[in-house]
A and B are shown apart, each in its own frame.
Chain A
Amino acid sequence: TQLLEQSPQFLSIQEGENLTVYCNSSSVFSSLQWYRQEPGEGPVLLVTVVTGGEVKKLKRLTFQFGDARKDSSLHITAAQTGDTGLYLCAGADTGGFKTIFGAGTRLFVKA
């Protein structure tokens, strides 16, 4: 069974601070996704990383995929109150697009 360990599960920081969320597994994934979810809504895709060692940037968000394709990180620079939300990492198996989610990181950015 493929498992994704995500940490931290809760993070409360001041506006302007930087933060990193980690997603680790003992399994190799064909790709890893990062989602953001608002209360009462489905998850919204932020990015997909596919290649080992890949780094993708989305404005103040930087996503990395480990060389062995077993882990990933999300780094947010100069967090804003609008970044508050639930961030989920997810791994897709090869072929079926069966998506397994990490436990999630609930981020709260204080003004």
Chain B
Amino acid sequence: GAVVSQHPSWVICKSGTSVKIECRSLDFQATTMFWYRQFPKQSLMLMATSNEGSKATYEQGVEKDKFLINHASLTLSTLTVTSAHPEDSSFYICSASFGRAFFGQGTRLTVV
């Protein structure tokens, strides 16, 4: 099946710094990718839809200036958490569609 790779798998950063998470579709092209956030013991919450070559579409309540999404190619979308704070600590997961949704392995972000 199709493979979606997410990097890094975990990251620890200092409060106030920015962190970039990459999501790559390894063996297919994806014009659309999705970013989710998952807090401990909770389900996945859709944050935004990443569209290749155009602006991302954010879900209600998600700050677009804080969570910058860039989808510059058909195989790569990036999520940058800007000026990270401890409350941004979470598990971030991306997905890309190829017949159905394929999920990355997730990135655990810890802001200290």
Contact = CB atoms under 8 A, between A and B. Distances in A.
Interface string B10-48: 000000000000000000000010101000011111100
Interface residues of A, number: 22
B77 interface: no
Nearest to B106: A42
A92 B44 contact: no
A45 interface: yes
Interface string B92-112: 010101001101111010000
A106 interface: yes
Contact of A101 (B6, B41, B44, B49): B44
Main secondary structure of the interface of A (DSSP, over half): strand
Contacts of B42: 103-104
A97 B44 contact: no
B43 A102 contact: yes
Interface in B44-65: 44-46, 49
B77 to A, nearest CB: 14
Given A43-B44, A88-B44, A97 B104 contact: no
Contact of B32 (A45, A48, A97): A97
Interface of B: 6, 32, 34, 36, 41-46, 49, 91, 93, 95, 97, 100-101, 103-106, 108
Given A40-B108, A98-B49, A103-B42, 6 more contacts: A41-B105, A42-B103, A92-B101, A101-B45, A104-B42, A104-B43
